[in-house]
Chain A
Amino acid sequence: MLGRVRERGTLRSSGRVVPLDQDRALVRAAQADPLQFDPLYRKYLAQVYNLAYHELGDHHEAEDVTERTFMLALGGLPRFQETAPDDAGPEASTFRVWLFRIARNVVANHRRTVRRRPTAPLEAAAGVAASDDVEGGAVARSEASAAWAAVRRLPGDRRRAVVLRFVDDLSTAEIAGILERSEGAVRVLLHRALRSVARELSREDDRAHSDHGQGRNEGAR
C-alpha cells in the first residue's frame, strides 16, 4: 500500500523521496495511554480539516467532520494495527493513511445525511458573509479563484486526489492507500484531473482576454 521502499528511513514513491511518517512512536504512546493522542491530533488537525473543507466547501461542516474524525480515530486507536511492511523500516507508519480513510468515510456519511436533510446557512440565503467570520471571508475570496472553481467541478475521486496531492501534500502512494486504488490508477486520476483543470483554466484565460480586448476597443472608440 505504501509503495516500494528503496532505502531505510525514506519511502520512494514514483521517483519522489518522501520522509516516512514518524508516527509509530506517537501511535504506540497513544495506544498505551489515550491522553497521549494530543500530539497526533495537533499534527494532523489542519490536514484533515483541509480535506473536509475542500470536500464540503463549508467551514462549519468541515469542523464538524474534523471533530468526528478525530473522535472516531481516538476511539478506534486501541484496535489500530500497524500494517506498514516490515522492510519499510522502524519508522514506517500507516496511521496517516488510516486517519484520512476515516475522514473520507465521515465526509461520505456527512454527504449522505445532508442529502437526506438539506440545509442552507442563513448567510448564504442572505448572500452576505457573517461580519465576524474573518476566515469565512478569506476563504470566500480564495474560492473566487479560477483554479479553485475548476477543482470544485472535478468528479469525486479526481477532486479528492487533487486536494490530497496539492493541499495536504500527500504522496501518490498515500493517496492510493486512502482512495483504495493502485498507485497507477491514482497517477492516471491526477493526470486526467490536471488535464481538465488546464482546459478550464485556458478557457477562463481566453474569456478574460476577450473581455479585456473588448473593453479596450470600447475605450478607444
Chain B
Amino acid sequence: MILQPANLDAMEVDALQTDRYLDALLAAVERRALDVPADAAVDPTLRRAARRLRDELVRTHPSFRFEERLARRLADAAVRMRLATAAGGEAEAALIPFPTPLLADPTLAAELANPELAALLGLGDAAIESRAEAPVDSHVAVPGRPTATAPADGLAGLAAPLRPVVARPLLVGGALTSAALSLAGAAFVAWRLTRGAPADPMARAVRAARAAREAAAVTTTRMTAVAASATTHPVTARTARNVATAGSRHRRLA
C-alpha cells in the first residue's frame, strides 16, 4: 500500500505506481531477475508490456569502424580548437563573439539554424548581440561582426558568429594587424641595415666574438685542406706548418 499525496489525480497516481514498478524492473536487469514484486494496483497487462519492452527493445552499438572514424574526426577537431584557443580565439570569445573554428564548419553551422540548439550551445545571445552591432553597408567581415550581406537561404537565422562569410573574406582585424606588423618589421630591419654599427661596448664585444669565430672556422678549413695536400706534396708541408702556427696565434689574439 503506497500513500499518495492527496492532490494527485487518478492518472498521476497510476503513473507514479507504474514508474516505481519500472524503476524496480530496470534495476533488476543486473540481477537477471525476470520480474520484480509490484503493487497489485499495477495492471498485469502493463507489467507484461514493460517486461517485453525491456527484453525486446534492442540496444545497438554502432560499428567499430564508425566509432574509430568519428573518434579520429573529433580528435582532429579538438586539435583545431586547441590551436584556436592558443591563438586567443576562444579566450576572446567572452568579449568578442569569434567563430569557434569547429562550429564554423558549414555542415554544423546549418544545424545551428535551430535556435534551441544554438541556445543549448551557448550561442544564442552572442548571435543577437552581433546582429545588433552589424554594420549596414559594410562589405568586409570583422571578427565578431556579421557581414552586411544577409544570406538569402536558410542561413538567415544562423547565429552570426557561425555564419559562413559570403562577402569579401577579408578579416580586417587579423589581416591588417599582421600586415602592419610585417611592414613595421621590414621597415625596422631596413633602418637597422642602413644605420652604421652601434658603438656601445656590448655591441663591440659581440662583433669581436663573432669575427673571431668566423676567422677560426676559416683557418680550420684551410688547415685541413693544406694538411691533406701535404701528404701528397711534401713541398707544401712547411707552408702547412706556417699556416697552422698563424692560425693558433690568431686564435690567441682573438
A residues with a Cβ closer than 8 A to B are 14-16, 33-35, 37-38, 41-42, 45-46, 49-50, 53-54, 62-63, 66-68, 70-72, 74-76, 78-81, 98, 101-102, 105-106, 108-109, 135, 138-139, 142, 145-148, 151, 162-163, 165-167, 169, 172, 184, 187-188, 190-191, 194-195, 197-198, 201-202
Q: How far is the CA of A101 from the CA of B56 in the complex (A)?
A: 25
CB < 8 Å A-B pair total: 190
Partner of A33, one of B82, B102, B103, B112: B82
Determine the residue in chain B with the shortest Cβ distance to A188.
Answer: B15
CB pair A166–B57 under 8 Å, yes or no, is: yes
Partner of B77, one of A14, A16, A75, A169: A75
Q: 8 Å CB contacts to A: which residues of B12-70? A: 12, 14-16, 18-20, 22-24, 26-27, 43, 45-46, 48-50, 52-63, 66-67, 70
B residues with a Cβ closer than 8 A to A are 11-12, 14-16, 18-20, 22-24, 26-27, 43, 45-46, 48-50, 52-63, 66-67, 70-71, 73-75, 77-79, 81-82, 85, 90, 93, 100, 102-103, 105, 107-108, 111-114, 116-117, 120-123
CB pair A162–B45 under 8 Å, yes or no, is: no
Q: Knowing A34-B77, A74-B81, say if A68 contacts B108 (CB, 8 Å).
A: yes
- The majority secondary structure among interface residues of chain B is helix
CB pair A197–B27 under 8 Å, yes or no, is: no
Q: A147: which B residues are within 8 A, CB to CB?
A: 49, 52-53, 55-57
Q: A54: which B residues are within 8 A, CB to CB?
A: 57
Q: How far is the CA of A106 from the CA of B108 in the complex (A)?
A: 10
CB pair A191–B60 under 8 Å, yes or no, is: no
CB pair A67–B120 under 8 Å, yes or no, is: no
Q: How far is the CA of A188 from the CA of B48 in the complex (A)?
A: 18
A-B residue pairs in contact (CB < 8 Å), sample of 13:
A15-B20, A45-B62, A45-B70, A66-B62, A70-B70, A74-B81, A76-B103, A105-B116, A109-B111, A135-B60, A138-B60, A166-B26, A197-B52
Q: Knowing A33-B82, A75-B121, A187-B19, say if A198 contacts B48 (CB, 8 Å).
A: yes
Q: A146: which B residues are within 8 A, CB to CB?
A: 52, 56
Min C-beta distance of A157 to chain B, whole Å: 14
Q: How far is the CA of A175 from the CA of B137 in the complex (A)?
A: 47
CB pair A38–B90 under 8 Å, yes or no, is: no
Beyond contacts A14-B16, A74-B102, A162-B53: 11 other A-B pairs, Cβ-Cβ < 8 A, are A15-B19, A34-B77, A34-B85, A46-B60, A63-B66, A67-B70, A71-B73, A75-B103, A108-B114, A151-B53, A188-B11
CB pair B53–A72 under 8 Å, yes or no, is: no
Determine the residue in chain B with the shortest Cβ distance to A205.
Answer: B48
Q: How far is the CA of A166 from the CA of B54 in the complex (A)?
A: 6
Determine the residue in chain A with the shortest Cβ distance to B20.
Answer: A15
Q: How far is the CA of A31 from the CA of B14 in the complex (A)?
A: 43
CB pair A172–B57 under 8 Å, yes or no, is: no
Q: A50: which B residues are within 8 A, CB to CB?
A: 59-60
Q: A190: which B residues are within 8 A, CB to CB?
A: 15, 18-19, 22
CB pair A191–B11 under 8 Å, yes or no, is: yes
CB pair B117–A197 under 8 Å, yes or no, is: no
Q: How far is the CA of A79 from the CA of B90 in the complex (A)?
A: 10
Min C-beta distance of B143 to chain A, whole Å: 17
CB pair A142–B58 under 8 Å, yes or no, is: yes
Q: A187: which B residues are within 8 A, CB to CB?
A: 12, 15-16, 18-19
CB pair A14–B20 under 8 Å, yes or no, is: yes
Q: How far is the CA of A22 from the CA of B146 in the complex (A)?
A: 39
Q: Knowing A194-B49, A198-B46, say if A188 contacts B12 (CB, 8 Å).
A: yes
Q: How far is the CA of A170 from the CA of B82 in the complex (A)?
A: 32
Q: How far is the CA of A191 from the CA of B11 in the complex (A)?
A: 9
Q: Knowing A74-B81, A75-B103, say if A191 contacts B53 (CB, 8 Å).
A: no
CB pair B77–A15 under 8 Å, yes or no, is: no
CB pair A135–B16 under 8 Å, yes or no, is: no
CB pair B19–A14 under 8 Å, yes or no, is: yes
